[in-house]
Structure 1
Amino acid sequence: MSRWFNTAGPCQADIHYMLSPTSRLPDLERLISQRSYFVIHAPRQTGKTTAMLALAEQLTSSGRYTALVVSAEVGTPFRHDPGAAELSILDAWWASAQFDLPSDLHPSAFWDEAQPGRRIQAALQAWARSSPRPLVLFIDEIDSLQDEALISVLRQLGDGYRTRPKNFPLSVGLIGLRDVRDYKVASGGSDRLNTSSPFNIKVRSLTLRNFNATEVAQLYQQHTEDTGQVFTNEAIQTAFDLTQGQPWLVNALAKEVVEEMVTDINVAITPEHIFKAKETLIARQDTHLDSLAEKLREPRVKAIIEPMLAGGALGDTPSDDRQYLIDLGLLRRDPEGGLVIANPIYREVIPRVLVQGTQDSLPHISPSWLTKSGELNIDALLHAFLAFWRQHGEPLLGSAVYHEIAPHLVLMAFLHRVVNGGGTLEREYAIGRDRMDLCLRYRKITLGIELKVWRDKKKDPLEAGLEQLDAYLARLGEDFGWLVIFDRRSNALPLESRLATQITTTKNGRSVTVVRA
């Protein structure tokens, strides 16, 4: 095998399966010919750098431009020292030019003559004047800069803009995770610019889309052509459904399957392999997933994710904050309306991350819910949960990072202990559903669980919960489930007095155990 699925850094065509790197880019050549400055922002590991490297090479090879991808990342340690940031950035840019451009397009001299705070502007002016072709610069990792260093770079680009193309780059693209207004600064009582004014010369902010289903099939087909190992059509569709085309996830699933799980190329890849790989990625929390998890503690992320998990409405959340979560790749806009978690894998990652602190706080729980043959006994599981909640439920609520859904997180922490023996716990939640649905699968057993919260000034959610659970069980193809109602009213009875169960029947004849917690 000479090529591999890539999950780290830009793709290289000689060793990686890859699609046309520029096929998902908007029409940048038109913007460049219009001498435009622009921003391209997209979540991590979506192919931004790979695409821009390919475009720069394409533009330079055309003979019309001197085009180069450079990075601002080396200036990151000098957030409060713009002069030091400039020197490290320009040194890196000089090296990139030597490596990536033909010798006749190299800058004519090293750039160290201007005063601090104007070195980048002066260097680009000198290079643009000496270049035999118009200069096009793509500045990657621009949002790794912060504070004074960031403001200095943006203002120098803005100040030189009017002298393009003879005395400044014809076109500049800023490449990063976020749009300009979300770049981090420490000023004005905010940690963001909240404006594009230091780079108000931008014509457009663009993004890089995910793979579509056809492109996922094309990527996986490259592996089949190289090795003969087949991804079934069902496996490809499953991979797309789970990832919604997020490039890192598409590659990571395939890499896990072909390199770790199914190394015999004579064995075809099936949906079962893809599902198993998904569980492995989530449990392992590779770097990409871990970096998303870090964002969940940010207040403006929490303000949106917490009501989504609870099934509530977003309320008066700023539109910039909602867009920020879309830019991060955590959310997407559903074509049918509303915000949803970007893909089913992230939908699993988010609650699992949030439940970790509570899970680590759990006491030892003996698996009394298993029979001697290792099967799940649902009645024993119910008794174990009631005993657990009576003794540990309320004390553990304080360990939950999202207090509004603390009961959900504690229950999920308990259920994770149950499925660690060989089952899975799936979740469904979305804005406006007023509930969270859980599906516990353990060998032959499938248990549908609906979580509802009874809050002040609201009526008992029993009736609505039964109707909603009835529909959920119908989709699961099951005729039995649990409805767990957490009483969070200020005048609720003490736990010992309200903790109880009853068995009832839905309108469609499904049996439901109602747990009052």
Structure 2
Amino acid sequence: MPRQFNVAGVNKPSIHYTLPASRRLPGVRALIDGQQYFVVHAPRQVGKTTALHTLAQELTAEGTYAAVLVSVETAVPFRDNVGMAEDAILGSWKLSARVRMPAAFQPPPWPDAPVGSRIRYALQAWAETCLRPLVVFIDEIDALEGETLLAILRQLRDGHPDRPEHFPWSLAVIGMRNVRDYKLASGGADRTHSASPFNVVSKALTLRNFTHDEVVELYGQHTTETGQVFLPEALDRAFEMSQGQPWLANAIARALVEDVVTDRNTPITPAHVDQAKDILIERQDTHLDSLAERLREPRVRSVIEPIMIGAHLGEVPMDDRQFVTDLGLVRMNPDGGVQIANPIYEEIIIRMLSGSIRASIPPLRPIWLKPDGRIDFDALLQAFLTFWRQHGAPLLGSTPYHEYAPHLVLMSFLHRVVNGGGTIDREYAIGRGRVDLHVSKGEDRFAVEIKVWRADGDSDPLGEGLVQIEEYLSGLKLDTGWLVIFDRRPSAPPLSQRLGASTATTPRGKIVTLIRA
């Protein structure tokens, strides 16, 4: 029976297609050999647990160390009851060691100790009785908060000077965030100046995404075991959609082979990949849903909203940018700018932010459709103006991202236009105050450039917008499109006076529809 693409839990090479995890953690062996304490941080579902569990097994099998992966997640119900949290953690560690380590390296009975010091006493006893240097990887450190997190980290810090004879030879804490954020979760008031309760780490490692070649290698294992072929263009598309995010790469592949193309004799094409992507977005599995829930956090919003409207990040603190990067929501592009991590996350973000808007839009009569199903663009323009006149203002208040609200309302209207039979592709130009949309339905394609006039002291963005839409149209090989300018100035005329459409000419003579709203 062929293996499967894994989308839940620790990867098991016997039943899951697997890539060597160690290649994504360069330098970790040197840290362990050097008796270092370190952090491994990366977004959810990139393989942290799998990588460290596998590494622990390898270290023990090689004969130098006794290594184990343990977790502190069982302490979650006891946020501010340190004693009960310690008991839950030590009980979990005892069980994990029993099933993951040879009997000779398992811990002794935990010694009696005062509340707030039980973890230190336990690790000291374990290190002193273990027949080899003890290496401990502590997973799910992010699960802890408040006094419990503070107590655990301080005990690890306090035992650090006593290694290796009386405390683990090497130790890692594993979670989503870098150590700089632990002071926040443990109650630090000032993320810039307060001291970390775990300041003995020598390095913070992150687990990178898959490269294009690694996605090809992973999918190639399925081809080897089943004979089902992925066309080269399909592999490119899968990497483009996932950007190598391990869970997404596996989830796309699983949807492809289990839902979209179940016949192993049928080659998988880019169109099939797009179908799999749509399945993931519609299904919005737990991993995607948990990311979407983060969008309302002020630190996340301060980074995501400027990206989505094409604005500068401005005075956003570096810690906030790093925090959102650590969550996996954004990544650095080759030019050094920040962008949404991948197209699937981008679509999830838009759906999450526009959910109330879409639900609030009443049924729209598709007057823009010709009898043959093609789009009547004059009728579409009138339909949009009518829609905005009747529903625009109320809908603008339906999202917590107020600066992004006009874009979301327009995109929600256009989603009704394509109605599942087309696509809307988006481009964001960070720092240029623009969002570009490419709308396609059947044989019809058109482009939309969105500009927002925000401050009374700003000049009319028309001139800049005409230059930008000309560039966008040329890239799409289109002759015309919409330039939509939303006037959000405090002194803007009433909607009844400013709403309208006219034609405008770009610097090189393209005729576009100018909409002011």
- TM-score, normalised with respect to structure 2: 0.97
Name the counterpart of 1:490.
Answer: 490
Q: Quick check: 1:136 aligned with 2:135?
A: yes
1:43-192 → structure 2 map (5 Å cutoff): 43-109=43-109, 111=110, 113-183=112-182, 184-185=184-185, 187-189=187-189
Aligned length: 515
Q: Does the 8 A contact of 1:450 with 1:482 survive in 2?
A: yes
**Could you give the per-residue CA deviations for residues 284-316 of structure 1, whole angstroms, max 9, x where no partner exists?**
222221111111111011111111111111111
CA positional deviation for 1:364: 2.2
SS of equivalent residue, structure 1 residue 308: helix
Distance 2:185 2:290 in 1: 20
SS of equivalent residue, structure 2 residue 438: strand
Q: Quick check: 1:36 aligned with 2:36?
A: yes
1:92-491 → structure 2 map (5 Å cutoff): 92-109=92-109, 111=110, 113-183=112-182, 184-185=184-185, 187-189=187-189, 195=194, 197-455=196-454, 456-491=456-491
CA positional deviation for 1:198: 1.0
Distance 1:343 1:249 in 2: 10
Range with bigger deviation, 486-495 or 260-269:
486-495
Distance change in 2, residues 1:127/1:421 (3 Å) = closer
**Could you give the per-residue CA deviations for residues 335-366 of structure 1, whole angstroms, max 9, x where no partner exists?**
22221222222222222221112111222222
Distance 1:68 1:421 in 2: 49
Distance 1:274 1:462 in 2: 38
Matched-pair identity in %: 55
SS of equivalent residue, structure 2 residue 353: helix
Distance 2:13 2:192 in 1: 38
CA positional deviation for 1:193: 9.0
Q: Does the 8 A contact of 2:331 with 2:339 survive in 1?
A: yes
Q: Does the 8 A contact of 1:182 with 1:193 survive in 2?
A: no
CA positional deviation for 1:490: 1.6
What amino acid does structure 2 have at the position aligned with 1:362? Answer: I
**Could you give the per-residue CA deviations for residues 271-293 of structure 1, whole angstroms, max 9, x where no partner exists?**
11112212222222222211111
What amino acid does structure 2 have at the position aligned with 1:473? Answer: L
Range with bigger deviation, 194-203 or 149-158:
194-203
User: What is the aligned-residue RMSD (CA, Å)?
Assistant: 1.5
Q: Does the 8 A contact of 1:148 with 1:185 survive in 2?
A: no
CA positional deviation for 1:375: 2.7
Q: Does the 8 A contact of 2:435 with 2:449 survive in 1?
A: yes
CA positional deviation for 1:228: 0.3
Name the counterpart of 1:14.
Answer: 14
What amino acid does structure 2 have at the position aligned with 1:462? Answer: L
Distance 2:509 2:6 in 1: 50
Distance 2:3 2:171 in 1: 33
CA positional deviation for 1:510: 2.7
Q: Does the 8 A contact of 2:482 with 2:512 survive in 1?
A: yes
Q: Does the 8 A contact of 2:241 with 2:342 survive in 1?
A: yes
Distance change in 2, residues 1:430/1:112 (3 Å) = farther
CA positional deviation for 1:12: 0.6
What amino acid does structure 1 have at the position aligned with 2:490? Answer: S
**Could you give the per-residue CA deviations for residues 89-148 of structure 1, whole angstroms, max 9, x where no partner exists?**
110000000000011111122x25111111111111111111000110000001110000
Distance change in 2, residues 1:3/1:353 (3 Å) = same
SS of equivalent residue, structure 1 residue 252: helix
CA positional deviation for 1:196: 5.5
What amino acid does structure 2 have at the position aligned with 1:80? Answer: D
SS of equivalent residue, structure 1 residue 405: helix
CA positional deviation for 1:419: 2.2
Off by >4 Å, runs of 4+ in structure 1:
192-196
Distance 1:195 1:45 in 2: 30
Distance 1:196 1:480 in 2: 57
Distance 1:360 1:186 in 2: 39
Q: Does the 8 A contact of 1:348 with 1:426 survive in 2?
A: no
Q: Does the 8 A contact of 1:180 with 1:193 survive in 2?
A: no
Distance 2:277 2:74 in 1: 34
Distance 1:433 1:344 in 2: 20
Distance change in 2, residues 1:421/1:104 (3 Å) = closer
SS of equivalent residue, structure 1 residue 198: coil
Q: Quick check: 1:25 aligned with 2:19?
A: no
Range with bigger deviation, 419-428 or 222-231:
419-428
- Gaps of at least 5 residues in structure 2 are none
- TM-score, normalised with respect to structure 1: 0.97
What amino acid does structure 2 have at the position aligned with 1:20? Answer: P
Q: Does the 8 A contact of 2:188 with 2:194 survive in 1?
A: no
Distance change in 2, residues 1:147/1:92 (3 Å) = same
Distance change in 2, residues 1:194/1:72 (3 Å) = farther
**Could you give the per-residue CA deviations for residues 128-171 of structure 1, whole angstroms, max 9, x where no partner exists?**
11100011000000111000000000011111111111111011
Distance 2:513 2:201 in 1: 59
Q: Does the 8 A contact of 1:185 with 1:193 survive in 2?
A: no
- Gaps of at least 5 residues in structure 1 are none
Distance change in 2, residues 1:196/1:17 (3 Å) = farther
**Could you give the per-residue CA deviations for residues 202-233 of structure 1, whole angstroms, max 9, x where no partner exists?**
10011011111111110010000000000111
Distance 2:194 2:372 in 1: 63
CA positional deviation for 1:199: 0.7
Distance 1:40 1:209 in 2: 11
Distance 2:18 2:432 in 1: 39
CA positional deviation for 1:476: 1.5
What amino acid does structure 1 have at the position aligned with 2:95? Answer: A
Q: Does the 8 A contact of 2:80 with 2:147 survive in 1?
A: yes
Distance 2:350 2:470 in 1: 24
Distance 1:194 1:52 in 2: 31
CA positional deviation for 1:494: 0.8
